[in-house]
Structure 1
């Protein structure tokens, strides 16, 4: 559904500043119906990448394919037509204060010239879908942050898109609203058969809804893949961000980081080390989470006992499917900066056009 091949975006030097390489040779693939995430620290190019997917920004080089169309081969009119298949949800909602919830959802349909009766039927269906059928007459100032984002999602769905791009769609929300919006995104993905690309710095969001993810750093993909594979990959930077390993400072003995899964749960790990091989085991820290619908966890264990038994235990755990890594102080990956991504796509302060500025909407 979405294919980016060696995509690069360079913003030229302005006012004496150096050029900005926002996206540097990114290739990624998102399958039809997949819920994929793009994560990374501040300034890594996440938001620029989102705008490259629907050519709100044209790449300097590389190839962008959405729903079988090579967007980078199209002229501006062709791109505007192709955007009918892509909806976009932003962090700060971008609702029109002068319009009601229904009026905001109806706006792109009006621009497209859709008839009044069809507009109103479509708006009513969408507001019901996002759980706001009873708030159709409310203005944005009368809505909570979560409700505003639901209106924005309904508006993004007005064109019956096949792809939904969400750029930090939950970053301005409180935890309860975030959970509600993520549940809604899962629902609309399932009911409408959408492909969703989620741009976020919130690892909890990725764990909650994504099937796969890529990790960006300085405009490059440094890790990625289906989450169930990433979390069992040795020395994975993305896995270290999704399930941060406990710090080893102050721990004693032989220190082991164990990744546990449904097929190699923590109980089996502890029984192997302590029950079967007679090693002394202390759980120093760790957590177990549900990721991509499956149970994963990372434990930090302090193990003492016969070295020969320990080596045998490690071998047995690895043969049983556990990811086992020896831990030493100072080897913990640094957490990502959890601030909003500064937008290198607007180094001179210009406004990036909103998707809804395009008047064409599928009837």
Structure 2
């Protein structure tokens, strides 16, 4: 009887979930396209399941149109097993609430032939509701891509256990269009944050070991460089020989890349606010910029107070042996960092 009652309740739950009708169509605010083709672009499309994450509205038609006046900027390339259409109009049979798969299997937005970096157009999406209404959304398409990259960080070596270190953050836009807004995510990893900043969030899921900082009003032109001040203050562990922390950056309007992630939520702190400002003329800072994320190693100076060198011990395992210990003449050095030419040091950073 209990099993039958459980099955009835479960069936009722699925029926209720399936009865939720989508109420909104969600599309990205902006989509950047490579000026000269490239890989398929992930286009996150979804419908709000009416309050239920398990809504199954059934197979319906998603319509994608290149807006009037945008044919010289963006075109829809190719078709898949569930999509049909041409360069400016495509329809796809979609199921569920996550519609992103339609873009990977079917239509692929690409920059139109003859378009230039900075050209702007629009894509329009429509999705039919059960009552006959059409849910609509629009995405601004920009030809070209911003590409924020971090200044290659030197490893911190022979850091005194428990000592504070300062990590400068310098970012360059190596793309062909301006980067609008800057998001900086720092995972302290084996270290701890020695200072928490007013314009950063510290998600509870990461137990205070991730800082999510945003500079939404910042615009970084192609080739431009910005420095975040003051430098990030972290504290080295006391009981480990090695550690590391990680950093990520991306334009806030474009959102994180496919290989980037961060946790939502978290409170801001009452420390000083980080500032991000442009440094010099575009291309003036001569330094190596690697990628949009990195890992900065930290090695601790955890040498022993006494050491035995050059001794050969003989005897049975567990038996006594004799050697003359010596005190090595070395001590922890103060951690230092290097900065590229043309970038003034952040407050509290000692450079060499």
Please state which band the TM-score falls in when normalised by the shorter chain: under 0.3
Instruction: Pick 1 or 2: higher relative contact order, CA cutoff 8 A, min separation 6.
Output: 1
Write 1 or 2 for the structure with the bigger share of strand.
2
Write 1 or 2 for the structure with the bigger share of helix.
1
Higher-Rg structure is 2
Per the normalisation by structure 2, the TM-score is 0.23
